[in-house]
């Protein structure tokens, strides 16, 4: 692959819910961790066109917002940097 990408996508993102067959993006192994039903999904992380994990917003007692990422598999060094960049973009969106 020429360019690696990681994106934080919202619940109900059309990338997953628009297609009946989700196997190009999401394996059977992780289906239940992302999909709530056949037409609803949890917020998720996508890496190079494939679902790479779930995510959720968490607020600590002092009110500071965090994004908790639950990755399905370990990321490469480059993917880890991309994930941190995507995380920064997502957290700045919620400020």
Each residue's pLDDT tens digit, 1-60: 568 889 888 888 888 888 888 888 899 899 888 888 877 888 899 998 899 999 888 888
Q: Are 30 and 67 in contact (CB under 8 A)?
A: no
Contacts of 9 (CB under 8 A, 6+ apart): 15, 43, 44, 45, 46
Spell out the residues 6+ positions from residue 27 whose beta carbon is closer than 8 angstroms to its own: 50, 51
62: its two tokens: 């002092």
For 57-93, how does the pLDDT look when each residue is reduced to its tens digit (9 = 90+)?
888 899 888 888 889 998 888 888 988 888 888 777 7
């Amino acid at each position: 692959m020429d360019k690696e990408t990681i994106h934080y996508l919202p619940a109900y993102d059309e990338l997953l819910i628009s297609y009946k067959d989700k196997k190009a993006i999401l394996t059977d192994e992780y289906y239940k961790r992302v999909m709530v039903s056949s037409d609803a999904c949890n917020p998720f992380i996508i890496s190079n066109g494939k679902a790479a994990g779930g995510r959720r917003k968490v607020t600590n007692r002092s009110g500071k917002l965090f994004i908790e990422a639950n990755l399905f598999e370990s990321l490469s060094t480059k993917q880890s940097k991309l994930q941190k960049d995507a995380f920064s973009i997502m957290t700045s969106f919620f400020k």
